[in-house]
Chain A
Amino acid sequence: MPKLKLPTKSPHIDMTPMVDLLSLLLTFFMLTTSFRPQEAALIDTPTSISEKQTPDKNVMTILIGKDDKIYFNIDNGRDTSTKVRANLLEEMGKRYNIAFTKEEIAKFSKLSSFGLNIKDLKKWINAESKDREAMEVGIPTDSTDNQLSWWVFNARLLNPDADVAIKGDAEASYKTVKKLLDMLQEKKVNKFALTTTLVKVDIKASDIK
C-alpha cells in the first residue's frame, strides 16, 4: 500500500507584503521625524489652554529648571547659513577674553542648551556628552557677573528678530522668573512665549448664573 503523501508546505513565508508595509512606515517616520532636542535638564512645564505652536526656527529659549538653575539655548536663526550660534560664541569669547578654537566653535554650533559659567564652557564643549550634564550648574545671573544678560544682549544684536521663549518648570520660583523678565525687559524684549503643555478646559455659558 502506497503511503499517502501529505503535501509538505514550504517553511518559507512570503514576506513581501510585510516588507512593503515596513518600508512604507519607515519612509513615513523618516520624513516626519523631527528629533527631540536634547535638553540640559528635565523640565516639567505648567499647563495652559493655549493652542499656539512653538516656533520651529529663529527662537531663543531660556530654560528655568526646578532648582532655579537657568539654561540658555539659541538656534542658528532663519537658516543655518546665518550661523548665529557660532557668531554668538565668538562675541562672548571676546567679551570674556576666552579664545575659542575653530573646532570648538563648530562643535558648539551643533550643540543645544547649556547652563554654566562661560569660563567652563571650553571644558563643556570638549567633554563627552554624558559628562556634560554634571557640569551644568546654571548660568550666573547675579548683578556682579550677569552672564545671562550678556548672552541675551549679544544674541539680540546678532539676531534681532528671534522670538524669546521661556521654558520654566512649574515648580520654579517666581522670584527667578521675575528677575529674568526684568532683565529681558531691560533688553527691550516685551513679548515672551511661555512654553506650556496643552490641557483643554471647557466652560459653558450655562456655568454663569
Chain B
Amino acid sequence: MAEIIQEDSGHKKGGKRRPKKHSTHIDMTPMVDLMCLLITFFMLTTAFSKPKVMEIVMPEKKQDKDIAPVVEAKRTMNILLTDSSRIYYYIGIADPNKLPLPDLIKSDFSKDGIRKVLLEKNKKLFLSIDSLKQKVLKGEVNIPKDSIDGAIKKMKNADHSGPIVLIKSNDRSKYKNIVDIIDEMAICNIARYAIVDLSKTETKMLDSAPR
C-alpha cells in the first residue's frame, strides 16, 4: 500500500492531472463463466421427458358368496405366463370336470407371437379402430383428440365378437411380462381383458406344459 502511494506522489510533477479515461468495456469474462456454469447445471438437472404411465383398472375384489361372472367359453382366451418369459394360451375354459382339458399352445412376446394371435382374434375391432385413426391422420375427419378416444371407447364397448382375454400368471414370472402383456392388449385394441388368478387346474397345466 505504502509503495503505491509513493509511486503516485512521484508522478505528480506539478502539471495538471487529467482524469483517467475509463474504457467503456467491462470485462464480462467472470460473468460468462458463471452463466455457463449455471446453464450446465440446469441442463443436467432438468428432466425433460417425464415418465409415462399405463393405467389399469382391476375388478373389485369379490366376496366369496358372489358368483363369478359367466363368460362365453368360445370367446374366452386365456393367457398364462410363467418363468423365463414363457407364455401359453388356450381358448375356452379349463374345467376339471370336463375332460379332456384344452391344450396349451406356446407363444412368445415377439411380433409374430402372441400379437399375431390376438390380432387375428380381434380383427374386426382392430380394423375399424385403425380405419378411424387413418382417417383422422389423413384429415378426412376432423375431430379433437378427446373425442377420438371417446369414439374408440364406444367402439370397444359396442364390440361383441372380439376375445375376452384373461391374463393369468404364476409367481415365477416377472413384472415386465405382465406389463408387456397388458401393453399387447393396448396395441391390439382388445376391448375386454382382466388380470385374474390361476385356478388349480391351470397351475397343473402350466407345470406340465412343454418348455
User: Footprint of B on A, CB under 8 Å?
Assistant: 12, 15-16, 18-19, 22-23, 25-26, 29-30, 32-36, 45-55, 64, 165, 167-178, 181, 185-186, 190-198, 201, 203-205, 207-208
Contacts and interface: CB of A to CB of B under 8 A. Distances in A.
A116 B48 CA distance: 30
In order of increasing CB-CB distance, the 4 nearest A-B pairs are A29-B42, A170-B176, A193-B53, A175-B171
B186 A48 contact: yes
Nearest to B134: A205
Contacts, number: 166
B115 interface: yes
B46 A29 contact: yes
A29 B174 contact: no
Given A22-B32, A22-B39, A47 B55 contact: no
B47 A193 contact: no
B53 A53 contact: yes
A54 B32 contact: no
Interface stretch (B98-106, B119-127, B151-159, B200-208): B119-127
Nearest to A37: B47
B171 A46 contact: no
Given A34-B47, A193-B53, A197-B51, 4 more contacts: A26-B39, A55-B53, A174-B169, A181-B58
Task: Provide the main secondary structure of the chain A interface.
Answer: mixed
Interface in B171-204: 171-180, 182-183, 186-187
9 contacts: A22-B39, A33-B45, A46-B176, A46-B180, A54-B51, A171-B176, A172-B175, A194-B182, A196-B179
Contacts of A48: 52, 54, 179, 182-183, 186
B51 A49 contact: no
B186 A208 contact: no
A162 B59 CA distance: 19
A140 B59 CA distance: 26
Nearest to B126: A208
A207 B52 CA distance: 27
Nearest to A172: B175
Nearest to B115: A203
Contact of B186 (A50, A55, A169, A185): A50
B60 interface: yes
B52 A190 contact: no
Contact of A192 (B43, B58, B134, B187): B58
B53 A54 contact: yes
Given A29-B39, A196-B52, A196-B53, A36 B47 contact: yes
A52 B39 CA distance: 30
Contacts of A35: 45-47
A51 to B, nearest CB: 6
A192 B51 contact: no
B36 A46 contact: no
A207 B123 CA distance: 11
Contacts of B61: 185-186
Nearest to B197: A178
B141 interface: no
Interface string B79-123: 001000000000000000000000000000000000100011001
Contacts of B56: 191-192, 194
B31 interface: yes
A49 B115 CA distance: 14
Contacts of B53: 50, 52-55, 165, 193-196
A194 B52 CA distance: 8
B38 interface: yes
Given A15-B28, A174-B175, A174-B178, A190 B126 contact: no
A64 B174 CA distance: 12
Nearest to B53: A193
A6 to B, nearest CB: 21
B67 interface: no
Contact of B179 (A32, A186, A194, A203): A194
